[in-house]
Amino acid sequence: MNRSKPKAPAPDEPLPVEIVDAHTHLDACGAKDAADVTAMLDRAAAVGVGRVVTVANDLTAARWAAEAATWDERVFAAVAVHPTRTAVFSEQDRAVVAELAGRDRVVAVGETGLDFYWDYSPPAAQEEAFRWHIDLAKRVGKPLMIHDRDAHEDIWRVLEAEGPPETVVFHCFSGDLEFARRCVDRGYVLSLAGTVTFRNARALREAAVHIPTYQLLVETDAPFLTPHPFRGRPGEPYCAAYTLRDLAQLRGADVAELGAAVAANAQRVFRLPAVTARELRGREG
């Protein structure tokens, strides 16, 4: 029996403001070269997703992300070794990540953290790598982008023990209201992916209402976690428009106002140039 591959959702209507996809994986979305990246960013720009942070999971992806960030002015990168890939994390591997993290268009160290859902890397190895990435973020003076899956308390324990860097971003935040409040009190930034639109994610949706706007980002984690009503389909950065609209409705906020706020947050958190992607295209024209 032949089963057709799920199709990507159609792009949403253009947003009234330009936003930033704070966490995506352009390589996993299918981009291989500069032309692919430009085409993907053009599709995103058409609905108001003007810039993206493409994130690495392993050394190959880290090298690719750092290079991709030089192909298009709308792309920035984050580099690290994902916790599920840390069973072997050698000194040579660490030297590669450290060198890439120091590059100008690499704006964060991540994604790093703990993942107790998948049984790919021993917890002790994950924690050791997490501690190393925390130290790296401090050394290079860039935000720490955290992957936290079924590991809230252990993530918290390690951050408290090591001392967090100046800026901490919880990618694809998955906690409840109580954990969100703890993170907010510490000054951490919470980035919401398509999961916040899932109608059965009641605890997360409750938390999302109460996150202060100043500490909020929006992301896709594309091609994963495509928002409602397209859950299960492959996503791209343009899908951030769906998530923003759903989040605005959930919070009782104006889409343009919320979009402007999360865009400003991304610019501040990742120290992006003040010029927007739209303005860059205008200059080129």
- Does 111 appear as a known binding residue? yes
- Does 25 appear as a known binding residue? yes
- Does 210 appear as a known binding residue? no
**Alpha carbon 17 to chain centroid distance?**
19
Binding residues for a divalent metal cation: 23, 25, 111, 147, 171, 221
Binding residues: 23, 25, 111, 147, 171, 221
